[in-house]
Amino acid sequence: MKRGFYTIMAAQFFSSLADNALFVVAVQLLRHQGAGTWQEAALVPMFALFYVLLAPVVGAFADALPKGRVMLMSNAIKVLGCVLMCWGLLHPLAAYAVVGLGAAAYSPAKYGILTELLPPSQLVRANGWIEGLTIASIILGVLLGGQLVGPWLAPYLQALPLPLPQVASPAHAATAVLVVIYALAAVFNLGIPRTSAPLVALRSRPGQSLADSIRALLQDFGCCNRRLWNDKLGQISLATTTLFWGVSGNLRYIVLAWAAVALGYGTTQASALVGVVALGTAAGAVLAATRMRLQHATRTISLGIVMGLLVVCMNFIDQLWLAVPFLILLGGLGGYLVVPMNALLQHRGHCLMGAGRSIAVQNFNEQAAILGLGVLYSLASALGLSAYGAITLFGLLVAVCMWLVGRWYIYNCRKHGGEVRRLLSIARSDKPSGD
């Protein structure tokens, strides 16, 4: 791996660490304010909101500037959202949406630079390490968030001379700590190298008006989205990752809710179980990075069906000694599924339209699934749906949809076998994508 890859990894780790800690802190802050459970569930779709709304812009923005600079600017937006929550200047849901805005701009640059820096043959390995490190940051992030608002660290944080108008709760003090972690991620952003990939201007021609530029971006994004969905491999990998992240994004909160009703856990204890799922995902991601090849990514589709059925089985677990290995297995299957599919999607997207735009299309579809399912869960929670009901619904949805994706791929192999084989042969190339 090139040296710049490890700088990207460090920047991603600390940014993701703060993101995941902030989720737990925001849940606790809403509970401190006496908000309804539907507001806690709404944190997930609020974070995804700008991924969907700004998808036509952020991909083109990531391709128009050096991606290290885009990541630095995105981290600054995250700091702003964290400060707004810390000072109580915005409702926690709105402040968390601002952090989501930074994350939406960050993601196309983070993944796009991989296709510029590395050859296709190294993408599965690179994605395995990036996803493994991201999952490690999820584990440590949710644990950190739980401890920052827990009974052991919270009294010390509230006693510190923090630059806050008032420290009304441990959650307010915890957000001040997370600002520092975001700043550390920004330091690593400064060291991300500039690749040889050409920049693509936001405006298609000089002197173009803002309205015309936005209209052109929307048309370009729609064209890129259709192009990826029409690609015989891109559509399969995009459908798989969209479904996986749509459910996994909401499963993070569902595990918190399930731990409360099945095990009687509070926020601090339940956050550790979210970390357990992430631990399994990290193991699966690293295993996929060492064993899978890009041209074999579609072999993992059947694992999605198994994963969906295992989610339903959560309803029958009410003992910690059963829950821990079960959640590790569940996360491991997800990690082994998503890493090669994610790498295949990045490769096809880069070949079809460029790194930043392809990642923006991917984020749009995945985050639209998170947003839609999150809104559905929030509404169902407001109407009295239990955590057990949500787990059953999500698990069956995964199993059925992954079965349909598998049938879709078999159809493509039968009807468009020559094209599928040709696209898989391209994935064996060792030529760097950014050269």
The string of pLDDT tens digits covering residues 13-71 is 999 999 999 999 998 888 888 877 788 888 888 998 888 888 777 777 777 788 888 88
pLDDT value of residue 307:
85
pLDDT value of residue 220:
81
pLDDT value of residue 263:
87
- What are the b/e assignments for 218-240, b being 16+ CB within 10 Å? eebbeebbebbeebbbbbbbbbb
pLDDT value of residue 296:
78
pLDDT value of residue 356:
62
The DSSP secondary-structure symbol of 196 reads S
Amino acid making up residue 132? G
pTM here is 0.73
Nearest to 51 by CA among 404, 399, 414, 366: 366
The DSSP secondary-structure symbol of 192 reads P
Mean pLDDT, the chain cut into blocks of 10 residues (435 residues total): 77 90 90 82 88 80 81 91 86 93 85 74 72 76 87 77 64 86 89 71 62 78 88 88 82 81 82 82 82 79 88 88 91 86 80 72 85 81 79 83 91 82 63 45
Q: How far is CA 395 from each of CA 201, 261, 316, 375, rounded to the nearest angstrom? A: 43, 18, 13, 17
Of all residues in the chain, what percent are helix, strand and coil, respectively (each to 5)?
80, 0, 20
pLDDT value of residue 432:
44
Q: What is the DSSP string of 214-264?
A: HHHHHHHHHHHHHHHHHSTTHHHHHHHHHHHHHHHHHHHHHHHHHHHHHT-
Q: How far is CA 186 from each of CA 78, 182, 422, rounded to the nearest angstrom? A: 10, 6, 41
Give the CA dihedral 85, 91, 97, 100, nearest 10 degrees: 20
Q: How many Cβ atoms are within 10 Å of 205's Cβ, its own excluded?
A: 9
Average pLDDT, the chain: 81
- CA distance linking residue 289 with residue 127, whole number of Å: 7
Could you tell me the domains of the chain? 3-192+220-426 (1.20.1250.20)
